[in-house]
């Protein structure tokens, strides 16, 4: 059933999340529903998992007055992974960890570093666990300076999402304010330099994690009362939303990963990734909160329902039996593996949609 209202949303089920998590952290991939130890772990996924665990604990606290002990254990596990991932000699996070607990590289991608900062900022902005916050604050301070040297606009965006979470609770931190100003203006200037009447985007290609770019501008712009930034965020998100819909049936169609979409080229239809749907849900709900325009609420529903079968193949990606999410849509079938990125994308999007029932609460990000 494709939900049309909040009371029809699926149950939030974390069985598969626990299945993918061991004493080290969250494993990256699965073979169908079986954890794939051969592929090991990533900082990318453990950062996402930490954000989810903190937000889940926040919701549990609101509803029952306390955080489930199993949720606390997850947050501690993922935090410990990020602590271990940080390479103090480089000031950077490593990303890929083998199952035998050996790192594959001394420095990971800029994007993985940005996601780690996003997770740490979320801990500092939302968690009530003093031990968790203390460790996150130390690591956030050590790892934030590296972000100023990054060239990836997605790394800028992820970092900005984390900084804003942090500044919502610690608004007087001048160093964090300076990094926020630097990265957000770089992102805005990139958009204004590339933007054309028929191509309202930050780069000459629509690639992956697209919705996080306008979301970062919206988040910072609204926090700083910067109308130029908010306008650019809304304009780019509006254009992206138009590009990511079926021309006939109007359902959500994320940019395909097999070629993406280059300016003056054709948009790849497949493979469609859960990461894109989750990002669209989050960005559109923030646009809804900033503008009050119900159109954005509708866009979020469209992206969320992609997980449940309102998509090109009319196949559900979410597996209600396991609580996991299939890894995407091929042209003729769903990818039956239920990996960390996909499962977390669905669970985060579901938390986002559930947050609509609590408009007075601080926005949940995914």
Query: pLDDT value at position 198?
Result: 96
What whole-number distance in Å separates Cα of residue 110 and Cα of residue 153? 9
- If one counts every other C-beta atom within 10 angstroms of the C-beta of residue 26, the result is 30
Phi, psi of 232 (to 5 degrees): -65, -40
What whole-number distance in Å separates Cα of residue 121 and Cα of residue 50? 11
**Side-chain-side CA neighbours of residue 59 (13 Å):** 22
Q: Consecutive 10-residue runs of the chain (366 residues): their mean pLDDT?
A: 83 97 98 98 98 97 93 98 98 98 97 98 96 97 98 98 96 96 98 97 97 98 98 98 93 96 94 98 97 96 97 97 98 98 98 76 40
Query: pLDDT value at position 229?
Result: 98
Query: pLDDT value at position 2?
Result: 83
* Residue for token pair 């809304």: 234
Domain with CATH 1.50.10.10 in the chain: 12-183
Query: pLDDT value at position 359?
Result: 44
Query: pLDDT value at position 4?
Result: 73
Domain with CATH 1.50.10.20 in the chain: 195-357
Residues with Cβ within 8 Å of 335's Cβ and at least 6 positions away in sequence, in order, are 271, 326, 327, 328, 329
Copy the structure tokens of residue 205.
């290609």
Compute the chain's Rg from CA coordinates.
Answer: 19
Q: Does domain 195-357 have CATH number 1.10.1760.20?
A: no
Query: pLDDT value at position 356?
Result: 85
Query: What CATH class does 12-183 carry?
Result: mainly alpha
Contact present, 294 and 366 (Cβ < 8 Å): no
Long-range contacts of 54-58 (CB under 8 A, 24+ apart): 54/119, 54/122, 54/123, 54/126, 54/127, 55/122, 55/126, 55/348, 55/351, 55/364, 55/365, 56/12, 56/14, 56/351, 57/127, 58/126, 58/127, 58/364
Tell me whether residue 254 is exposed, middle or buried, using C-beta atoms within 10 angstroms of its C-beta: 0 to 12, 13 to 18, 19 or more.
Answer: buried
Q: String of b and e for 262-282 (b: at least 16 CB within 10 Å)? A: eeeeeebbbbbbbbbbbbbbb
């Amino acid at each position: 059933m494709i939900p049309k209202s909040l009371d029809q949303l699926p149950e939030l089920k974390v069985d598969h999340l626990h299945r993918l998590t061991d004493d080290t952290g969250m494993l990256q991939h699965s073979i169908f529903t079986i954890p794939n130890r051969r592929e090991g772990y990533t900082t990318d996924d453990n950062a996402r998992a930490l954000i989810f665990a903190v937000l889940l604990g926040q919701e549990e606290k609101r509803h029952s007055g306390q955080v489930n002990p199993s949720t606390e254990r997850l947050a501690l596990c993922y935090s410990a992974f990020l602590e271990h991932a940080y390479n103090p000699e480089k000031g950077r996070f490593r990303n890929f960890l083998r199952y035998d607990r050996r790192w594959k590289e001394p420095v990971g991608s800029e994007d993985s570093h940005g996601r780690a900062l996003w997770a740490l900022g979320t801990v500092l902005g939302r968690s009530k666990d003093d031990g968790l916050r203390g460790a996150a604050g130390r690591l956030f301070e050590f790892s934030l300076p590296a972000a100023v040297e990054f060239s990836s606009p997605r790394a800028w965006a992820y970092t900005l999402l984390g900084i804003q979470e942090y500044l919502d609770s610690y608004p007087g931190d001048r160093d964090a304010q300076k990094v926020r100003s630097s990265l957000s203006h770089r992102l805005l200037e990139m958009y204004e330099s590339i933007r054309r009447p028929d191509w309202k985007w930050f780069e000459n290609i629509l690639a992956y994690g697209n919705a996080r770019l306008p979301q970062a501008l919206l988040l910072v712009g609204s926090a700083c009362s910067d109308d130029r930034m908010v306008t650019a965020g809304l304009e780019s998100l509006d254009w992206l939303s138009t590009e990511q819909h079926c021309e006939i049936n109007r359902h959500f169609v994320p940019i395909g990963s097999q070629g993406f979409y280059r300016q003056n080229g054709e948009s790849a239809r497949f493979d469609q990734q859960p990461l894109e749907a989750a990002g669209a849900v989050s960005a559109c709900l923030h646009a809804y909160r900033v503008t009050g325009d119900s159109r954005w609420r509708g866009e979020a529903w469209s992206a969320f329902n992609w997980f449940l079968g309102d998509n090109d193949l009319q196949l559900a990606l979410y597996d209600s039996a396991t609580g996991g999410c299939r890894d995407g849509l091929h042209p003729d079938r769903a990818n039956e593996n239920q990996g960390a990125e996909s499962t977390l994308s669905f669970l985060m999007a579901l938390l986002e949609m559930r947050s609509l029932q609590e408009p007075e609460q601080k926005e949940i990000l995914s």
